[in-house]
Structure formats: C-alpha cells, structure tokens
Amino acid sequence: MRAEARSGTLLSAPYVLFLLAFAAYPVAFALALVLMHWDLVTTPSFAGLDNVKLLATDTRFWQAVGNTFVFLGLHLPLQIVTALALAVALNRPMMFRAFWRAAFFLPVVISGAVVAILWNALYATDVGLINALLVKAGIAPVPWLTDPRVAMAAIAVMVTWKNVGFYVIIYLAGLQYIPRSCQEAIELDGATAWQRFRHLTLPLLLPQTILVLTLSTINGFQLFIEPYVMTGGGPLRRTFSVVLYMYTNAFSYQKMGYAATIGVALAMIIGTVVAIQRKVVGTAEAL
Amino acid sequence: MPSVTFDHVTKRFGDVVIVEDFNLEVADGELLVLVGGSGSGKSTLLRMVAGLESVTSGTIRIDDRDITHLAPRERDVAMVFQDYALYPHLTVRDNLSLGLKLRKVPKPEIARRVAWAAGMLGLEALLDRKPKQLSGGQRQRVAMGRAMVREPLVFLFDEPLSNLDAGLRAQMRIEIGGLQRRLNTTTIYVTHDQVEAMTLGDRIVVLANGTIQQVGRPIELYRDPVNRFVAGFIGSPPMNFIEGRLDRNGGAAFVADGVRVELGGEREPVPVAAPVTLGIRPEDISLVAAGMATSPVSGTVVLVERLGGTSHVHLDVGPNRLMAAVSQEQLPAVGERIEVYVPSARVHLFDAGGKCRTARP
C-alpha cells in the first residue's frame, strides 16, 4: 500500500509541478500584483487599493468591457448558428466528406496572427477580395476595418470563421448520438425536414450547444490577437478589447499592477457571465 | 378499412438480394406476422411499407393507393420500433401528441386522443414523465400509444418485445393482441420469435433468404409445414429430424439406423431407397411402458429435463438424437434403454430438397 502511494505520488508529480509552475504560481502572482505598483524594472512597491480604485473609474477600461460585450453579442449567435448548420450539413452523406470536414477544421490549427494578416488582406478597402466582389455585384465597397460601425462586426465574422471547425466537431459528435430510430419515428410522425430539425435534432443537441456557448464565451472574452494585428484597437477605440487594454497597460505603460488588476477583473466577469448563462440554459434543459 | 398489397416486391443492395419477388395481400383488419431468422428480409419488408427503405422493383399498395414511392409521412402508417424510439426530451404526453401537432390536428382533438390512448394503455399517471423515468414495459406502452393516437391506416411492429425480459414479454404480447383486436387496425408484425408469431398472428408468413416459405394460419403451419425449414422453425420445442430412406418391404416404411416407422399402405411419397428425412414433433412421441408390445424405435436416455408439467426426454437412437416431450410422472433414468412410439399419422417426410411429401391437402 505504501509502495502504491509512493508510485502514485511519483507519477502525478510532473503534472503537479507543471500545474504549480504555470497555473497556481501565475494566478497567485497576479493576485499579489493587484496590490502592487511595478514597472517590470524596479522593485515592486505596495499600492494598497490604488489599482482597484483606478479600475472602478477608468472609462477606457469600461469602454473595453463594453466593446468586448459588443463582440460577444455578434460572435456568439453567429458562432452557434454557423457551427450547427455546418455540422448538420457535414453529417449528411456526400462526396469527399472527410475532405470537407478537414477543410473547415483547418483554420483552427492555423496561428491566429496568420489568420489575422490573411483577413486583413481580404478586408482591405481598396484592394481586398471582399470589396472586389461587392463592386462586381454593383455594391459600394465597405471600409471593413476603418469604419467604427462595422470594424467589430468584421472581426467577429473572422473569429467565427477561424473557430467554427472546432465547434463543428462538438456538434458532429452530438449528432452521432441521436438515435436513428428516433429520426425515423419523427419522419413517420409526419415531420418535414425543418420540423425534424426543430423538434428533434435541435433539442437533443442542447448539451452540445451549452458546451459551445461556454467555450466560445470564455474564448471570446480573451479577444486579443485580431484587434492587435488588424486594427490596433481602432477605429475610435471601437475594437479595443479588455485583453488588448490589459496588454497595453502591461507592456506599453509598464503598469504591471494595474494590468494584473484588469486580468483579475476579467476573470471575475467571465465567471459571472458563464454562471448566468448556465442558469438560463440550465432551466431550458429542464423543459 | 385498408388492406396492404405487395406486388412482386424485390429489394436489392447492389448484388445482394434481400427480398425476392414478394407477393402477398394483408387483409383489412388482419394481424399478419412476418417471422424468420436474421437476414430473412422481414424487417426490410416492414421498412419498405413504412417508406424507410426504397423498393428496388414491384409495388406496395394500401387499398388501391400506390405508396411505393411516397415519403414516410405521406403514407399514414405508424410504426413501433424495437428500441421504442421515444423522443427522449419530451414528456409522455408530448411524445403522444407530437405527431398530431405536426399534422395540425386541433388542440381539443389532440387532448381527446391522448386521453383515450392513455386510458386504454394505463398511462394516465405517467403523462408528465420523461422516457428515462419509465420502465421497459411502460416505454413499450408509450410507443404503442404514439402509434394509436395517429389513428393510422396500418400499424407496423418491428420486433417490439425483444428488448423486454421474458415475463414482461409474455404480458405485453397479450396486451398487443388484445389491443389489435379491439382497434381492428390492419397490422404487420415482425418477429424472430415463433411463439409470438403463433400466439399473435391471424396469419403467419415464414421467411427465409428473402422468399416466402409458407403463409397460413398458425395451426396450419404447425400441422402441415410445407418444407423442412418451416417444420423446424414453427413449434417449440423444435421438431426432431432423422435422416433415412424408404423401405417397401412389407408395406411402406421409413427406415434408419435403429428406427422403423410403418407409414400405412397408401402413402408412398418418395421413390423407394431415395434419401428422406423424417420429422416428428417432441409432443407426438410417447414412451412405451416397459414390458408392453415391442416398438421398432428404441434408444438410450441421455438427458431428462423436468419442467414441472411436461418433461423433455432426450435419447440417442442410433446416430440420431430424439427428444420426446411427455407429461407422465414416471420417467426413465439416464442410461436406461427404452422404446418409444412414433405415430405414423404424425410423421412428416421431407425429400432431399427439404420439401414436405406428406403434407395434407
């Protein structure tokens, strides 16, 4: 028994060390930094609640929070609808199905910075492919990344495209679990294709939808690379996300204590939003 | 009330023939059982009526309406699946009413039919439960209720009892039979279980390899199987078979190692000396009391199974194993040499092709 306990400790040690070094320590460090002033160079000094007080009244921070919610408001519905639609489409028998599935998954494994640069080219106002197609269709070109009204929407579309393959896989797994006989039963019960989706497929995919919602919410709150590479937070700070603001404070202004405070606040916001989602969707599950 | 007609129905997957030139008319209000082993094509036939499998050639009609190429929802048939196929996210009430809602049946009418089916099946107390909160027998009843409320032209049952334990299966079998007689809805019932077929069917179709072996009332199939397959499939415990030949010496008789059964003068179903198989049901064999007139069939007892009311006596007769189902109290011991009586009137003879040559007209 003691030998077993010893080998157990030994086997779990690498992971525990990894967790301590790369999860527990940074979290503890960030929590400590909330109470510090630190410019990365000199010795940190105790700041009391200065950082927290500043955060409460920092309009730029709250604007970034608002921007991030705008992003989520556009991104979450778009992400769920596209992932679900693609999964249902890719679940049907078709030619080269494996190819199509791989094709939609590919952007997931490409670096976010690379995708951002690629979409920068697509979105370019004068020479971008998207505007070229619009012009060809007789529609006026849209300044995708320079118009404050559309820039965040353009980023939301791009992020949705990049991540859709991952969520498609989650939905495809869920679709495998819908019993074939249930699909046949509802067909005999008189359902059209849309009614089959509405009354059987969609409700039975609720667990997957909850998972997709939670994961894309957490992921969406951490929006950073896309505005950093494509817009720098502009135009008119409309795409300035919370993480971008945190990054700017940390590495442009060298206010590590304040950046850590933003990080901790973001974690609390994410936790609250996901808890609210669980509460709402959880009641839907009981229906 | 509707009849179902199969007219030269054939189903192939590529080169594999599942059902071959199937012709049958299911009468209005009849409960027809399709019975056969796995791969016999019985489920495929049912699914072709439902529209869940395409028909390669031939036509299926309900009354005079050709339904061969209609979508499932246009056929007005209801099916009870082996796994019940209840909608897991809906309550019993919603499971029963969804099909009616989709067909835009008015709400009061839905409520009336759900109440009617629930009352008939004893589901009133379960209407607000989800399927996972129900026992196997209750789920089975909900599946039947879902078919009933639709008031379809035809009921289709696809092995509905095979997921239930033995006791429940016997009970549900009785309920299905009673329900079908009350509703008088034309029903096609698929099973691999010959007991279900015998007890439920107005008529039985025995299938093997996608072709009809025999169609008839249960008792006809039991008494007069047309071939060795049907003879072995229908009846429990199954019929005994002994390979042998015919002998003309002093009246027609079946002979095999340790066996001689006189057939009676007028019957000479196959040429003398041609290979032939004798079939005799276990319940038709009786044990001859020791010291009574000698019988030409004798063997050594290898196993005695006492089931209470009846007992199964297994004996080796030459190279053949015979089983007798008897109801007497006094049973021979294992290893004992005994004589048995095989009544010639109960004997079936099958030729080398398996065809029965003693079937009564």
ipTM of the complex: 0.85
Three-class SS state of A114: helix
pLDDT of residue B269 exceeding 70: no
Q: What is the CA radius of gyration of chain A?
A: 23
Give the rounded percent of residues in chain A with a pLDDT score beyond 70.
98
pLDDT of residue B252 exceeding 80: no
- The reported pLDDT for the residue numbered A125 is 85
pLDDT per residue over B281-306, tens digit each? Answer: 999 998 886 656 556 788 899 999 99
User: What is the C-alpha separation between B198 and B265, in angstroms, rounded?
Assistant: 33
- The reported pLDDT for the residue numbered A284 is 55
pLDDT of residue A285 exceeding 70: no
- The reported pLDDT for the residue numbered B20 is 93
- The reported pLDDT for the residue numbered B88 is 94
Residue ending a domain, among B190, B206, B233, is B233
The average confidence (pLDDT) of chain A is: 91
Q: Position of tokens 């199969």?
A: B6
- The reported pLDDT for the residue numbered A287 is 43
User: What is the C-alpha separation between B314 and B241, in angstroms, rounded?
Assistant: 13
**Is residue B356 included in any domain, yes or no?**
no
Same domain membership, residue B268 and residue B210: no
Which residues in chain A have Cβ-Cβ distances shorter than 8 Å to B99?
Answer: 188-190
Q: Which CATH class for the A58-286 domain?
A: mainly alpha
With contact defined as beta carbons under 8 Å apart, do B300 and B271 qualify?
no
Same domain membership, residue B275 and residue B228: no
Tokens matching residue A163: 């991540």
User: What is the C-alpha separation between B88 and B98, in angstroms, rounded?
Assistant: 13
B294-319: b (≥16 Cβ within 10 Å) or e: ebebbbebeebeeeeebbbbbbebee
A241-261: b (≥16 Cβ within 10 Å) or e: bbbbbbbbbbeeeebbbbbbb
Mean pLDDT within A78-86: 96
**Is residue B358 included in any domain, yes or no?**
no
Interface with B, mutate which of A177, A178, A189, A198 (most B CBs under 10 A)? A189
Residues 128-167 of B with CB under 8 A from A: 146, 150
**Is residue B264 included in any domain, yes or no?**
yes
Q: Which of B197, B144, B170 is CA-nearest to residue B32?
A: B197
Same domain membership, residue B246 and residue B222: no
Domain extent for B292: 240-350
Lowest mean pLDDT among A156-160, A244-248, B240-244: B240-244
Same domain membership, residue B294 and residue B266: yes
Tell me, what DSSP letter sits at residue A94?
-
pLDDT of residue B360 exceeding 90: no
Cβ pairs A/B, distance under 8 A = 63
Torsion angle defined by CA atoms of residues B101, B104, B105 and B110, in that order, rounded to the nearest 10 degrees:
20
What is the 3 state secondary structure string of A98-110? HHHHHHHHHHHHC
Mean pLDDT within A248-258: 93
Residue ending a domain, among B201, B233, B265, is B233
Interface with A, mutate which of B52, B67, B114, B162 (most A CBs under 10 A)? B52
- The reported pLDDT for the residue numbered B251 is 64
**Number of structural domains found in chain B:** 2
Say yes or no for a CB contact (<8 Å) between B83 and A181: yes
Residues 32-71 of B with CB under 8 A from A: 50-52, 71
* Confidence grade of residue A89 (pLDDT, cut at 50, 70, 90): very high
- The reported pLDDT for the residue numbered A52 is 93
Mean pLDDT within B207-232: 94
Q: Position of tokens 């089959």?
A: A196
- CA dist A267 → A47, A213, B319 (Å): 21, 17, 82
User: What is the C-alpha separation between B99 and A185, in angstroms, rounded?
Assistant: 9
Torsion angle defined by CA atoms of residues B121, B122, B126 and B128, in that order, rounded to the nearest 10 degrees:
60
Q: Packing angle between helix A206-221 and helix A151-176, nearest 10 degrees? A: 150
Lowest mean pLDDT among A270-284, B23-37, B80-94, B201-215: A270-284
Say yes or no for a CB contact (<8 Å) between B102 and A195: yes
User: What is the C-alpha separation between A145 and A57, in angstroms, rounded?
Assistant: 29
Tokens matching residue B193: 């279980």
Residue ending a domain, among B199, B214, B233, is B233
pLDDT of residue B264 exceeding 80: no
User: What is the C-alpha separation between B97 and B191, in angstroms, rounded?
Assistant: 27
User: For chain B, first and last CA: distance in Å?
Assistant: 32
